[in-house]
Amino acid sequence: MSLTDPAPQDPAQREIAAQAIDVHKTYGKDAAEVRALDGVSLDLYAGEFTAIMGPSGSGKSTLMHCLAALDKPTTGEVVVGGRKLGRLRDRRLTELRRDKIGFVFQAFNLVPTLTAQENILLPLSLARKKPDPGWFDQVIDTVGLRPRLDHKPSELSGGQQQRVACARALASKPDIVFADEPTGNLDSTSAAQVLGFLRHSVDDLGQTIVMVSHDPVAASYCDRVIFLADGRVVDELAKPSREQILAHMADLQSRAMGLAPIGEDA
């Protein structure tokens, strides 16, 4: 069923979709200073479904915001689609988000006054671009929302809303899609649908997706899982199972609490 070979290639030959180079992010000053990111360097590969995991306060959301051009690192460099974000002004950043990046958030993902279809096409309409009809059909069919395109968000279930949001993120064929806890507000059935759809879009549509989550089930859909703790990348797993992830998470938790590791050491 897959159009591309899902097997991990040699890292040296894989195309890099986004990159963080020694990214630091601090909030506050002096005594009140909080280091959200403390020197993160990371490559995200095209055509992969990557999860960023970590306990609360590990800096995973901040990292995603920096990678997605929503926030600026205090020091360090972020590269998306071969472009360094540090020098870009607001207008270029907006265009970058509109044309090269897709977003799926945990909640409040859709504009309530627009129909599902209008929401999906919103980034394109804002750029005054015409959608590619073939691509649009493909996305809609993958999401399975064709009969509901004329509905307003308030007439859709949470899972349906989130699938609309996914379709919107893909509509402009972005270089990379960022999803921030996309299943955080959903029941397990809906969550499975959304995750299945994301997986499909990587496998069948060749998309690149980066997802922030603390749900091991969600992460188990991914090709690669990166673990963050105290603002640093501490570990990563390729094609992990749910159990592997759980064990890793527990390990991180205990290390953070100063206990002896219980899982296998990576």
User: What does the binding site for other proteins look like in residue numbers (CB under 8 A)?
Assistant: 61, 65, 68, 70-71, 90-91, 94-95, 97-99, 102-103, 105-109, 111-114, 122-123, 125-128, 168, 180
Nearer to other proteins, 151 or 242 (CB): 151
Cβ count within 10 A of residue 190: 18
What's the min distance (Å) between Cβ of 180 and other proteins? 6
Nearer to other proteins, 29 or 128 (CB): 128
What's the min distance (Å) between Cβ of 176 and other proteins? 14
Joined together, the tokens standing for residue 203 give: 């496998």
Angle between helix axes 158-171 and 116-126 (nearest 10 degrees) is: 30
Q: Nearest-CA neighbor of 81 among 60, 65, 61, 102? A: 102
Q: Do 118 and 126 contact (CB within 8 A), yes or no?
A: no
Nearer to other proteins, 70 or 234 (CB): 70
Question: Could you tell me which residues are beta bridge partners of residue 53?
Answer: 227
Sheet containing 83-84: order of strands:
34-45, 16-27, 75-80, 83-84
Nearer to other proteins, 152 or 255 (CB): 152
Q: Nearest-CA neighbor of 42 among 15, 78, 96, 8? A: 78
Nearer to other proteins, 68 or 247 (CB): 68
- Calpha distance 252→249 (Å, rounded): 5
What's the min distance (Å) between Cβ of 129 and other proteins? 10
Nearer to other proteins, 118 or 204 (CB): 118
Angle between helix axes 133-143 and 188-203 (nearest 10 degrees) is: 150
What's the min distance (Å) between Cβ of 59 and other proteins? 14
Q: 3-state SS of the chain: helix, strand, coil percent to 5?
A: 40, 25, 40
